[in-house]
Structure formats: structure tokens, C-alpha cells
Amino acid sequence: MASCAVSDLPDGRRVIALAGRLDAASVPSIWDPVHRALDDAPARPVTVDAAEVESCDGAGIALLVDLASHARAAPVEVVRMRPDVDTLYRQFDLARLEHDLDPPPKPLGVVPEIGRATYRVSRDLAEMVSFVGALAAALAYAIAHPASVRWRDVWRICEGVGADALPIVALISFLLGLILAFQSAVPMKRFGAEIFVADLLGLSVLRELGPLMTAILLAGRSGAAFAAEIGTMTVNQEVDALTTMGLDPVRFLVTPRIIAALLMTPLLTLFANLVALAGGALTMETFQIPLVTFFKELDSAVDITDFMAGWAKSFVFAFLIAAVGCMRGLQTSAGASAVGDSATRAVVSGIILLVIADGIFAYLYFVLDI
Amino acid sequence: MADADPLIVVDDLTVGYDERVILEHVSFSVARGEVFVILGGSGSGKSTLLKHMIGLYPPLEGRVVIDGRDLTAAEGDERRDILKGIGVMYQSGALFGSMTLAENVRLPLEEYTALPAAAIDLVARMKLELVGLEQFSGHLPAEISGGMQKRAAIARAMALDPPILFLDEPSAGLDPITSAELDALILRLRRALGMTFVIVTHELPSIYAIADRVIMLDKRTRGISAVGDPRVLRDESDDAYVRQFFRREAEAAAA
């Protein structure tokens, strides 16, 4: 326990006598009373008598340092410390402790913040442009020299992007077909038009939802995985190692991933289309539309152009997701959260790009009357 | 020794990141066959200098010439050609985590040579034997210890028999015995293959054991505070900070 006693001497000096163990447990109880004693009489010189202080830890020394460097009209001195307390106390330079020597930076004003954000966005865009250039060069090189592609890596990545994604793609597509068919069959039944659910499902799944849902799943699974994988390699200096070996990280890390995504995504899209239609067909069974009738109606409603219009998108989507995932990975900075940030940014940018690309496709198909 | 036959020339180099300058107008050269050590206190820019010497970052000013060719200005095939002549061992090893040790060592051989697969395999195993890891060739980097990873990284850096090896803190985090083994390996390679080493470290025993020459970076001046034989610097340097560094004295003791 610690205690403090305040007394005023006839010469005007105030004495604060501290006693006991000054540690993290006892200092809180005397911190305020001691400071009040200082502030009550700002003009009186103060002597802090530490003769009875038995021991000090960090908190105790902090109290003594704080008293000694207290800003007031009259001086404060700490006296009669025991030798061991004195040794601890003398480790610190009071002048350097008076204020924070490395204060947190002041928040910027609105204008500088806008400037900084603009700079960040423009730098991001510039990086994107130079990445697209490097990627185009690497892909052109891969097409001209197929033997230079690390095919072993391509097959390994194909497994992760394609085969391993089958269950989740199957589940989501099946449910999508099922729900879409059910939601549209209920109102259409009122008009006796439930057979046209096959038309609706066929067109929406083949032209739009099949490729888009597969691509969104790909962005969440593989886009994030690419960013995290390459990001970890960046943090571990593996990308630096490639660079100093004279091997281009884009050719070495990005090309195989883009090829794998381009090979697998269209196949996954085919599979997703099929499973979604199967889900829809199953729902329609419960509305007394037999499978044969459903598929006959589907056959009459959609043609190969509808299918190709959707399927063509899957190649573009695959390219965008893989490229942005790899780019975010290569942009990874240092620090524990960097890889997570890259993965998040890969998914967000991937989905934004998907939606933009899908909009462009919709407009193009409208103009071209496809 | 340095000026007789320089293999690496660092000419008026200013390095830093963005606007933060870390070293200013640094010039020195490394002779062929030399074990050259870059040392300095924490934050003095040792690793930054090394990263600029191997062309990972463009310098703010100045140039790095390796074997008569300017790495700073080189692009494309010329740059690849210069980089082929250097091997780098990173502080963390930086082995490719998805590849076994043998695959790591094979990679530069596969990329740069037309050797048949059997020959590449044999060369890779020989390099691993050189660093005493032949029985771990099928292990992944995560399956071996930190010291082993560093040795494997040296094997990979030597895959193409580059005349120059850059090592970033090779003995950091190693026990004294492994560290001494690494020193012995460096001396053996220098003797047997005439390689030149540029090493960033502040392990004093290691410096005395292997260094021909050291340069010492000083963050107060953002430049070089001493160049020379480490033993001579320890005993005869005029600079109190240099003597203090070599004698491993705390700041207060020297003051």
C-alpha cells in the first residue's frame, strides 16, 4: 500500500511525503490526491519527499517523473529517494518525456484528403494499365511459345479452379434453377401459363444467370485464392526471388492462372447451365409438367445463338477475374493484413468488373440484335 | 584490391522509397573473388542497398554496374543476361513454397538451359549435396528448419553457377554451429569456384571469419562511414562509432 501526506512549512514550501510501495496497484489511489496537492497551491514550491518509499515499479517511477516535470509556476523537486529507487528514476531524461516526441499525424483537411484519394485512384489505374500491358505481352509470348508455359502449374491450378469448384457450382446452380422455376411458376399458374416457365428459365439461365453465377462463384473462390497465393509469395519475397532470377512474375505466375481460368470457366458454365435447367425441370414436375414436355418447350424457346451468347461471356469473365486476382496479389504490400486486403480487393474488383462487362455485353447484344 | 579488378561498381547511388531517401551518393566497388560485407546498425539501409544492387528497385540516382554492364539501365534480354550472372539468397530464404527443394533448384536450370531432364535433375541434386541437403531433396520448404531453408536457398542461388552471390543476413536466426557451417560453406565456395560474395550481416564473428572487406553504413550521414578490413577498422578507425560497433559496445560506454 502507498500513502501520501501533505504539509506546509512556515517558509511557504509544501512537502508531499510519499510512503510505502509505489506500484501499479497502489499508485491509482494516490495519483489524484498528490496532483491536487500540487494544483491547490500553484505558487508554492513543492518538495516531494520519497524517503519512505520502499520500492517502485514502472507506475511508481511514472508518478515521480510526472511530479518532477509538472508544469506549474513554482518548481517541484523529488528528494531523498532510496538508492535503488534513485537508480530507476535516473534512467529517464525528464526533458525528453515532457511531450510525445512522435505524436500521431494530425488528420488532413478535406481538400488534402481528396487530393490524396485522387492520387491513390490514379496510381491504381496506372498500375492497372501497366499490368494489362505486361499481361498482354506475356500472353502473346505464351501463344507464340507454348512450350514456355508451365503446363504442370496450369493443370494443378485447373484442378483448384475447375474440378474442386464442381460441388459448389452444382449446388448453387441447382438451387438457382429450382427457385427461379418455382417463383415464376406460381404466378404463371394463375394464367395457366406454367409451361412457359421453360422458356423463361432457358433464356435467363443460358444467356445471363449461368455465366454470371459461375463467374461470381469463381471470383469468390479462385479470384481470392489467386490474390492470396500470389500475395503470400510477394510477402515471402518469392516474387522478388523470381525477379532477380530474371523470370518475369507475370509470365511465371499470372499466365498459368489465366490459362487455367480460361480453360475451366466455360466448362463450369456449361455444367452450371445444365444443372440449373435440371433444377427447373424438377420443380416443374411438381406442377404436373412432365420432363419431356419441359425439354420440348425449352428446345423450341432457345436456340444455339442464345447458348453461344451466354457462353461467350464466360471466357471474358474468366479472364477478368483471374487477371484482377493476380494483379491484386502482385500489389500486396507488407504487413499481416496485406494478404487479406488483397484477397478482399480481388473479390470486390472482380465483381465490379463482372457487372460492368455484363452491362457492355447486354448493350452489344441489343445493338447487334443477338 | 577493390580498384584493381572491380566486378561490381556502385556509382553515386542514391536509394530510397517514394520520397524517403535512405542512402545518398554512395560509391564503392567489389573486386572479383572478394567476400564483401555490408554492415551497419538497424535501419541504416543495408537491405535496401542490397535490393538496389540486385536491381529489384530502381535507384533515385546513380547506377550499379555488374561486370562492366549497367544493370540500372538494362532492359529485356540484356537485363535477364546480367541477372543470370548473380544469385541471391533472401533473408527468409524465399524458396517457392509449392515446390520441393529439388524443384526449387531445378527451376532456374529449366528456364535458362537446354539440358535434358536427367542432367537437370543431377545438377540439382549436386547443388543440394554441396550445401548438405541431398537427403531432403523431396521435402517442401515448410517441412525443413529455417537454417536448412537458408542453405537450400543458397543451393538455388548457385544453380546456374553465377560468379556473384548476394546473401541477405545469411546467419540471422541461426544457432552458432549452423552459422559457422554457413561461413565455412561460403569460404569453400569462394576457394573452389572463385565466387564473389556480397553479404549483408551484422554478425561480428561471421564477419571476422569470412570478410575480406566491409563497408559500414551510417544512418546519421545516410552514407558510408568506413571501408576496409574489419580487424583494422576495429583497432584503428578514427571514427568512434565504427570502433564502438566492432567492439560491440553500447552507446553510453563509448561516450
Q: pTM for the full model?
A: 0.79
Q: Which residues of A touch B114 (CB under 8 A)?
A: none
Same domain, A212 and A328: yes
pLDDT at B3: 55
What residue segments make up the domains of chain B, in order of their start? Answer: 1-85+162-229, 93-161
Mutation site for B-interface testing, chosen from A233, A238, A240 by largest number of B Cβ within 10 Å: A238
Same domain, A16 and A144: no
Low-confidence winner among B67-81, B150-164, B173-187, B207-221 (lowest mean pLDDT): B173-187
| Domain final residue, candidates A97, A124, A157 | A97
Domain assignment of residue A332, yes or no: yes
The answer to whether A248 touches A138, Cβ cutoff 8 Å, is: yes
Q: Which residues of B touch A120 (CB under 8 A)?
A: none
Same domain, A85 and A120: no
Cell numbers placing A266 = 466455360
Q: Which residues of A touch B117 (CB under 8 A)?
A: none
State the residue for C-alpha cell 491484386.
Answer: A328
CA distance A234 to chain B (A): 9
Length of chain B: 255
Task: Considering only the C-alpha atoms of chain B, give the largest distance between any 2 of them, rounded to a whole number of Å.
Answer: 63
Same domain, A67 and A135: no
Residue A45 burial by Cβ neighbours in a 10 Å radius (0-12, 13-18, 19+)? middle
Pairing of strands B6-17, B20-31: antiparallel
Same domain, A182 and A280: yes
CA-wise closest residue to A251 among A125, A153, A367: A153
Same domain, A88 and A151: no
Distance separating alpha carbons of residues B26 and B6, to the nearest angstrom? 16
The residues facing B66 across adjacent strands are B8, B69
> pLDDT exceeding 70 applies to what percent of chain B?
96
Q: Quick check: A238 and B86 CB within 8 A?
A: no
| Domain final residue, candidates A70, A97, A124 | A97
Q: Which residues of B touch A240 (CB under 8 A)?
A: 51, 56, 88, 90, 94
Q: Quick check: B96 and A247 CB within 8 A?
A: no
As a whole number, mean pLDDT of residues B133-152 equals 90
The answer to whether B147 touches B171, Cβ cutoff 8 Å, is: no
pLDDT of B251 higher than 80: no
CA-wise closest residue to B38 among B198, B166, B244: B198
Domain with A270 in it = 114-368
Distance separating alpha carbons of residues B155 and B102, to the nearest angstrom? 10
Domain assignment of residue A140, yes or no: yes
Q: Which residues of B touch A160 (CB under 8 A)?
A: none
CA distance B82 to chain A (A): 8
What letter represents residue A27's amino acid?
Answer: V
Residue A139 burial by Cβ neighbours in a 10 Å radius (0-12, 13-18, 19+)? buried
Q: Which residues of B touch A245 (CB under 8 A)?
A: 83, 107-108, 111
In CATH terms, B1-85+162-229 corresponds, of 3.40.50.880, 3.40.50.300, 3.60.150.10, 3.10.105.10, to: 3.40.50.300
Domain assignment of residue A303, yes or no: yes
The residues facing A26 across adjacent strands are none
Same domain, A276 and A348: yes
CA distance A315 to chain B (A): 28
Same domain, A13 and A93: yes
pLDDT at B254: 41
Distance separating alpha carbons of residues B211 and B198, to the nearest angstrom? 9
CA distance B69 to chain A (A): 15
SS3 for A102?
coil
pLDDT of B255 higher than 80: no
CA-wise closest residue to B213 among B33, B5, B70: B33
pLDDT of B138 higher than 80: yes
Q: Quick check: B55 and A232 CB within 8 A?
A: no
Residue in A240, A246, A247 nearest the CB of B94: A240
pLDDT at B4: 63
Residue in A240, A241, A247 nearest the CB of B111: A247
Helix, strand, coil percent values for chain A (each to nearest 5): 70, 10, 20
Same domain, A277 and A244: yes
The per-residue DSSP string of chain B comes to: -TTTSEEEEEEEEEEEETTEEEEEEEEEEEETT-EEEEEESTTSSHHHHHHHHTTSS--SEEEEEETTEETTT--HHHHHHHHHTEEEEBTTB---TTS-HHHHHHHHHHHH----HHHHHHHHHHHHHHTT-GGGTTS-GGGS-HHHHHHHHHHHHTTT--SEEEEESTTTT--HHHHHHHHHHHHHHHHHH--EEEEE---HHHHHHH-SEEEEEETTTTEEEEEE-HHHHHHH-S-HHHHHHHTT--HHHH-
| Domain final residue, candidates A63, A97, A131 | A97
Domain assignment of residue A103, yes or no: no
Mutation site for A-interface testing, chosen from B75, B96, B109, B166 by largest number of A Cβ within 10 Å: B96
Same domain, A160 and A277: yes
The answer to whether A321 touches A261, Cβ cutoff 8 Å, is: yes
pLDDT of B199 higher than 80: yes
Q: What is the CATH number of the domain that holds A68?
A: 3.30.750.24
A253: closest chain B residue by CA: B96
pLDDT of B30 higher than 90: yes
Give the count of beta carbons closer than 10 Å to the beta carbon of residue B124: 26
Interface residues of chain A, partner chain B, Cβ below 8 Å: 232-233, 236-238, 240-241, 243-247
Domain assignment of residue A107, yes or no: no
**Residue numbers in chain A where pLDDT is lower than 50:** none
Distance separating alpha carbons of residues A256 and B60, to the nearest angstrom? 34
Same domain, A90 and A134: no
Distance separating alpha carbons of residues A241 and B61, to the nearest angstrom? 24
The number of distinct structural domains making up chain A is 2
pLDDT at B219: 84
Residue in B56, B92, B95 nearest the CB of A244: B56
pLDDT at B175: 83
User: What are the phi and psi torsion angles at A15 (to 5°)?
Assistant: -115, 125
The answer to whether B102 touches B121, Cβ cutoff 8 Å, is: yes
Q: How confident is the model at residue B192 (pLDDT cuts 50, 70, 90)?
A: confident
